[in-house]
Structure 1
Amino acid sequence: MKIKFLISILFFSFSIAWGHGGERRVSKEERFLIPANKDGKCGFVDGKGQWQIPPQFDFVWWFSEDGLSDVEVDGKWGYIDSLGKVVIQPQFDNCFSFSEGLAAVKLNGKWGYIDTTGRVVIRPRFDDVHSFEKNGLAAVEVNEKWGYVNRKGKFVIKPQFDEAYSFEENGLAAVMVNEKWGFIDTTGEMVIEPQFDKVYSYGLAAVMVNEKWGYVDRKGKFVIKPQFDEASFFEENGLAAVEVNEEWGFINRKGEMVVNPQFDDAWSFEADMAPVEEDGKWGFIDTTGEMVIEPQFDFARFFQDGLAEVELNGKWGCIDKVGNLVVAPQYDNIRSYKNIMFVRYESKWGIIDEKGNYMADPQFDGLGNNLKSNGKDRFSISVFNENLRSTKGKQLFIPVRRKDTCGYIDEKGNWLIKLLGFSRVSEFSKNGLALVCSENKYGFIDTTGKMVVEPQFGLRTDSYNKYGLAEVELNDKIGWIDKRGELVIPLQFDDAYDFSKCGLAEVELNGQWGCIDTTGKIIVELQYDDVSTGMENGFILVRKDGKLGYVDSLGKLVVPLQFEKASFFRNDGLAWVKLDGKWGLINEMGDQVIQPQFDEIDEFGDKPFPPVKYNGKWGYVNSKEKIVIPSQFDEVRCFSKNGLASVRLGDQWGCVDTMGNMIIQPQYDYMGNFYNDGFVAVEKDGKWGLVDEKGQIIIQPQFDCMSWFDEELIFIEKNGKWGILDTTWKWVFEPQFDDFDFLSPFEGWILVKKKGKYGYVDKSGRWIVKPKFDYLSHGSGREVRGNSPFAICERKGKLGCIDQQGKVVIKPRFDRIYVYEGVCFVQDIKKHGKKWGIVDERGNYIVTPRFESVNDNWMY
């Protein structure tokens, strides 16, 4: 389940209760108003879909119990009353809904609080805030520390916590100190010392210690000892869902197993019924564990007001508590609200009653929580995670193909540009143009869909370069066009490479290479077997008849064709060249700085002291025609930042300084490079250890293998298991992993494998995702494009998503997942073939599968 109740309720309440002053609570006097948007503007409709406040705002939110709604106009936020009158002018960069008579507002990068008249009660000075609670306190952040203020803005509990939650009904608030969670009371006294890895607190608090979940009471005493793999909080009926060995069951407040672990997944109880999954199908159990509605649905949500939303064959409907279909599965999405339901059909939202009759035909772009927000830090159920999009605040054009139509959709699946008869389209580049293909001919369109360059060319590039030119091909000849589609460099070359940083392009005609500038003027005559413009100093490396030389940016041959091999000029103006089988250094005039004499060189060595080989032995030179360390070693490494280099004499390794002094005598079977902290891994008799730059042993050779993660952690293998050491030589994790990987979706995460399953740990020794998945990844077939809010998890051959807190937000049930700038596309081959659809942050379809491709990488 991965705490589905927490995902659907906790996440919702944290994002809205803290971000908007609590869930919707409608006062008796207030009109029945539902946020809605249409054609890019937002307003409010009634339960029949009639506009009560016309669409005129960029974004709106539910009315708070104070009778005000926060609205956005031209990037600024203010408040209106239930008649649509602006009572607080839009002037804030961001805001929350009113809670307990005060609303948090952001101005010039800082947060403060106003009252319902718009008067600033607490001036903006905080970095982040929560809304005020009934106890008159609000959590606020200053200089990366959290504390609590009263309604006058005075600190009642000074900033001292790394994270802090709002106070709950039991008078306690969860706070984090040094990566551990504890609980404080309203005076700031630490009632339960920070000791837990994670917490969920509703009544008894669910806490995690050493990868296992248990429950503590208000005094921090374990009422139920840590023993579960996952755990949710207790519901009003006294039951909580827990996971043991990948199976879910339910316990009571004494820790007794009321419903034995047997389900593949489960949600918490609501109205004494809980959705559970068996063999890929969802049904419902009662509090005794009896299956009252047999598993038959592809997905199910819990009961609200006597109805539960269910999914079948990619469509959503509703059932009653007996299991009868009240609303047949026919909608792309459905969300209950009081005694009505919002339904999505073919990209539009409408309203139906509890019997399934239309009260408002599908006509809205969004309803209720499903509005699209262009603002910042706003919660939206309809986008997978809009706040993590790298294009946040901009129109998103997603390239797709459906049947014989290509074009671009937004994150809700609405067509922005449709091109009938086209086979492929590329992403829009920074200059606002995209490559399109029709009948194997290529052209360019702009973001309005206007054809800027008619399809007529062969494929050479998918975008314009920084000079405003695009390389094109027609009838096997290559040239360049400008943004109007005009040929500015005629179609005349047989082959070419686009313009480099120096403003030159390499071109070939009749087997001869040269260079042109952006006007098409020939700078380097087409007379060479090869040319290369990769040097930043403007020099061009040319080859003819097996000899290499250098041409300047004016096309003049400044270093004659004479070398067998040659490198680019380095930043110090020197280049390695090979003449008569020997290597030396020349300057940009072609003068020999170091006469060719070396058998081998390390072209990529540190510039001050590159390694060179002479008469079968290695030494070091500098760039001033001086051999600083004579050739005497059998193998060498480049100098590290601390001025030391590992060298081998015979079969033994030691190290020297830049003067050639032997700092560590040759004694090891192997020695790596020194790290910035001044230590190096060494091997002796098949075992690995660490020594410092003076040769002092830090860790005796005892391990089977060592590998660096970064400058902070070392992976250690012992007896076939990997562990992690920090640079104080303390265990972060003792050897226990079968394997590890440096690649991870989020900074500081480390992929590990244990007992055949994959999980994530962090650098502090905390489990983020326990090892329970068949694989975890961040791309490569389970692709990610742009900033991604999640990692991909795999179980039993199906893919799902994990968020940055390590929670499974989309359970593994899809065959492929591709995320385009935070919008989640999925394939479910069994149900929909290889067509792509879009899901929200809970895995519910926003757009049912209909696209054959999404953002084809057709240039590669």
Structure 2
Amino acid sequence: MRKQGTLHCLVPLSIAATVAALMPADAAARDTDRCFTSKYTRPFSDYRLNAHGRNRGSTCLYELREGLAALRLPAEGVDIDDVAAVDGFAEYSWGFIDTAGELAIPPRFENVTHFHGGLAGAYDGAQWGYIDRRGEWAIEPQFEDVRAFRDNGIAAAVRDGEWVLIDRSGAALNVELHDHVNQIRVGDGTPVRVEVEYGATYENANGETLAVPEGITLVEPFGSAGLFIARRDRRYGLIDRDLEWQIKPDYRDISAPSESGAAAVAAGGPEGDALIRQDGSAVGKDGAAVRRRGDFWRVTWPDGRNAVFDLQGERIAEFGGEADSRVRAMGSFLVDSGGDSTKVIGPAFDEPVVLDSGLTPKLVRSAGLLVVFDGETMAGVILGSGSYLTGEDSKDGRDWFGQIAYAERHGAWTWFRDRDKALIQIVDPHGLPLLDEATRKRLGNHHIEPLETAEGGAGDNPAAIALISESRYCHCGPGAGMLMSDGQLEFHEDWQKVESLDIRGPVRGRRFAFHTDEGVGILDGQGSVILAAGQEHIDDFHHGNALVYGDGVTRVVDRSGQLFDIPNGFGMSVVAPGIMRYRRSAAAEALFSLYDLTSQQPITKPRFQDVGDFHDGQATAVSPEGKTGVIDRAGEWVLAPAYAAVEPVNGQLWIVQRRRGSDPFEDIPRALVDADGETIVPYTEGLLSATVLDNRSVEVRAHGPAGVHKLLSPSGEVLFDGREATFTVMGDLLRLRRRPSIGYLGDDLEWAVALEPGTGSVFHADAQRALRSTGERAEILDAKGRVVATLPDGEWRWPTAASRIIGRVYEDGTTKTKYADPNGEITLSVDGKAGVFHGDTAMVSRTDGEDGFWVDASGERREIPGRYSDLGLPADNGLAYAASGGRYGFIDGDGRYVIPPVYDLVTDFQDGRAIATTERSAMMIDRQGRPIARVASECGVRVLYGPDNERVWPERLPQRCRH
């Protein structure tokens, strides 16, 4: 039995194999009846910059290359009845036909490539070699993979797992390509273009390279046990730092969760999915895992069993197959309404809540709870903790439960209100009511402002959960205060208002201002007075201090309530713990000084136009000349004032600007400098940014033409430069990949132009010039590697068959295509996206709803009748393919169909021939549309017919079809 192959380096035939694997045997056999066309053909492809002409053949007959076209037919030497007896292509092989429709090379190879440079790659079932136009081995099979020979006699191939360059004898060239080569592309012409792509390597924090086996890619860190999601052969698993598989790469994908601590789904395993917990253990294996409402995983097995896991992958419930239709998610709850009762479970439940028959839960999403109804009457409330509240939980004989009309969540506390939205009860995270009858009466109609907190509980050093003040809508009697987490009130009738002096932070550590007739004082988070009332005003706390004003004097208070005297001044603010800034006068030109609150002494003389907040002992400051720098707590310059703006990175590096922009969205050039003012990354556009990583190294990025990506030490030493290698930070590992590089080999097979990062064209024989793009610029080289010219910013290409260099440039709000000669002079500009000139015609893409159209050598539009859903360029015989109504034919220069549009797909004409395909057959046609050769199915096997419609191959048909 022959191994089923694919046409290597062309449009893959794996479609056939895939369909055969998925369809029943009788349907799979019909694959030989069909001609699958290329999945990779895009309409109006000829305006693209890559090249003229794309692979547009079919699985019945491929494009002509050097006068030969590949096709797969019943294998030479196999009885045709045996071929017909086997489903699919198992007994087929590859051969070639010529432009006369004759079988130039019988079908004897398991796989082939196109012909180029007089040779084609061929696979004998074990290894690849190269054949000549007679089908004889020019280079015996000895490679694992091959690429086409170029006209300069050089090709790329894989031998013993390593990419090498070879000559026409198969001998390897002694050319340095660097390590970890992943792909090589060789171009035509001399000097010889060589493009190299590289595989990934991995380094730890010590700079040591991990010996990751060939074919394994570490994708990203996962979980809490030092694991990585890794890929091998397009399948995913988990691997540890010792490169041992903890979960074998059997899955189609592993989706890492965005929530910290959440489990991941490993999908598409041999038997199903799995949930992967943060420690790398797998649960719910071989089922189908689905995320429900963001709070659950639900896994269903083929036998009908269902299990529910919380977000971290802990199993919280299991149901039989009969429960599948009756179990539903309601917010963060799962409800099983089958049988005589209803069960409710949730991620935080110790056990299910069982509801009697006839009770119905409904979700209040904003409060994160379920309300249970008995008909139209509310019978209970289920909290997220699993607590079930009913009327029996009302205290002091008052049925507050029966008055509930609204519920809301504040932190971990649930607040219930009546129909008038008056507060009637607060319950803690465990469902315990907080307010007794006396407390409710004392609160009356006061305004109660919730504090978003999960802190405290009865007998647990209570903290404030709400602030109480007189209502704005009614007179409720004097008094204000705080409601504590144990239900007690810190309430005083002589207090008028209580308000927070901290924007954020745990309530226990916050400070609150209380207002009385005598002035304002400060409370701690437990309601204790730490500064008696008597101040006229107290600012919010900042850096542990707040400005207070009383008795005509401004002072500073710390969080313990201690007051500090400060000098009289203006523009005062606390900029660091124990340090404030101030100016001695209100004059616009007055400068700031720094003052130490502890020593009660000035730190500096007046010397700053402005001083920002200190972080990690440093602050930005503005000199008297209006330049920005960075100072330490002693007011000394750490980074000299020389900039319009400074953004700190890590205390040793800063991002700086020369000017400020008037538009907040303006992309102002920025640079990265060190404490000596030395430039680490020069001024560049592209929103330069720097991120300090866990190991204290600094990742620097800038988008745009510069494309900056560097990894720096904390002091700014360049560890990796993205111009040489791309890198990805993966925890304390780096994934490195040398950038694709291009070089040119001279006649002596030494580098005439050194291998460097970038892409480029072949050397064009007439001009002896090539185009090289480095990402920063496009430049024209001569045969010695000297730069002849640099092209304007844009996307530039110089296709092999093109006499002119083509560029896409964004200009005046529109895209233009510019053409340059080999000296870099712009010779033509066309509005829109145009492509390669073939003869005197080029394609321009569809614009403003129009179809693609042609332009002549002067850039003028060539008027042709009709609109086409796809259009090519005229070939040497003057015909171009065109599609109308989803069918292809060929038109002449005036837009008239010479060959009618009756085909599913066609190729360009080459050597006076084109390949035309329908669903059931493919043929080689001449410029009049007459078939020169045809491939179709007869009696369940593919048959090649020649110019006179005579069968060329196989020599005979299966027995059942003979007459």
Relative to the length of structure 1, the TM-score reads: 0.36
Relative to the length of structure 2, the TM-score reads: 0.33
Larger radius of gyration: 2
Which protein has greater RCO, CA pairs closer than 8 Å, 6+ apart? 2
